[in-house]
Amino acid sequence: MINPKSNQELTYMKKAGIIVALAHRAAQSVIRDGITTNQINEIVEKTIIKNGGTPSFKGLYGFPTAACISVNSVMVHGIPDDTVLHDGDIVSVDIGACYKGYHGDSAWTYAVGNVSEEVNALLEIGEKSLFEGLKMAKAGNHLTDISHVIGEYVFGHGYSLPRDYAGHGIGTSVHEDPTVPNFGPAGHGILLEEGMTLAIEPMVLAGKPQTRLLPDGWGVISKDGKLSAHFEHTIVITKNGYEILTTTNEEEHPTNG
């Protein structure tokens, strides 16, 4: 059972979303050759707290830090550490913030300095796959109408999607029903209703879809060692479409670079 959110609940979720967006901006502003993933995490955590939120991921299932920071072939759930970023790398930053008990969740993959055309193409298709999927996010559509469009778009550009990772409902918990797959047939799952809140998050792999867990038990890396990108927004379904919650009012979403 997926309950649409009340206006009061949506007010809190919007605030949580703005905090997430501000933390992304802060992270993006420091991403450059020579910075460590620990340093990025510190800035994310400080920004969340400074703006009246708490980091959703710290302690969630035992995850140790505010942000998941995943470099190059690491797809999701990377634990920040002393890893130094270098020109030409890509880094996925996944941030969750909680405000008055309601969560926002957004991930973005950023280029470090100058990346190759090939890498830029992966980032562009990954980002676009999120927005292509969102076109199907509206009241009256089936949940997997979103999934289908994301999958067709990503596969159509020669990339792959992991089998076991998906988007999710979100509200008083970071992860709620329903699971939102990133591929598969359209026309299945719940009927979307105004007020439902979802985190849509394609993870796009440059190589094969298989992944494996890193020895730390958290990081998920592509098995073939090829690059991986991750783009996620928390949205609310509206009468005619959707509204992105993990954004500030001045921008639709963070940009790469």
Which residues make up the interface to Mg ion (CB under 5 A)?
94, 105, 107, 199, 201, 232
DSSP the chain: --PPPPHHHHHHHHHHHHHHHHHHHHHHHH--TT-BHHHHHHHHHHHHHHTT-EESSTTGGG--SSEEEEETTEEE-PPP-SPBP-TT-EEEEEEEEEETTEEEEEEEEEE-S---HHHHHHHHHHHHHHHHHHTT-STTSBHHHHHHHHHHHHHHTT-B--SS--EEE-SSSSSEEEEE-SSS-SS-SPBP-TT-EEEE--EEESS-S-EEE-TTSS-EEETT---EEE--EEEEE-SSSEEESSS-TT-SS----
- Could you tell me the smallest distance in angstroms from the CB atom of residue 105 to Mg ion? 4
By beta-carbon proximity to Mg ion, the closer residue of 45 and 232 is 232
- Could you tell me the smallest distance in angstroms from the CB atom of residue 116 to Mg ion? 26
- Could you tell me the smallest distance in angstroms from the CB atom of residue 78 to Mg ion? 12
User: What are the backbone dihedrals phi and psi of residue 61, each rounded to the nearest 5 degrees, phi first?
Assistant: 55, 15
By beta-carbon proximity to Mg ion, the closer residue of 113 and 181 is 181
By beta-carbon proximity to Mg ion, the closer residue of 88 and 256 is 256
Tokens coding 24: 């992304």
By beta-carbon proximity to Mg ion, the closer residue of 121 and 190 is 190
- Could you tell me the smallest distance in angstroms from the CB atom of residue 174 to Mg ion? 7
By beta-carbon proximity to Mg ion, the closer residue of 60 and 214 is 60
CA–CA distance from 214 to each of 211, 220, 232 (Å)?
10, 6, 22
Token pair 């990772």 is found at 165
By beta-carbon proximity to Mg ion, the closer residue of 128 and 175 is 175
By beta-carbon proximity to Mg ion, the closer residue of 63 and 142 is 63
- Could you tell me the smallest distance in angstroms from the CB atom of residue 158 to Mg ion? 25
- Could you tell me the smallest distance in angstroms from the CB atom of residue 200 to Mg ion? 9
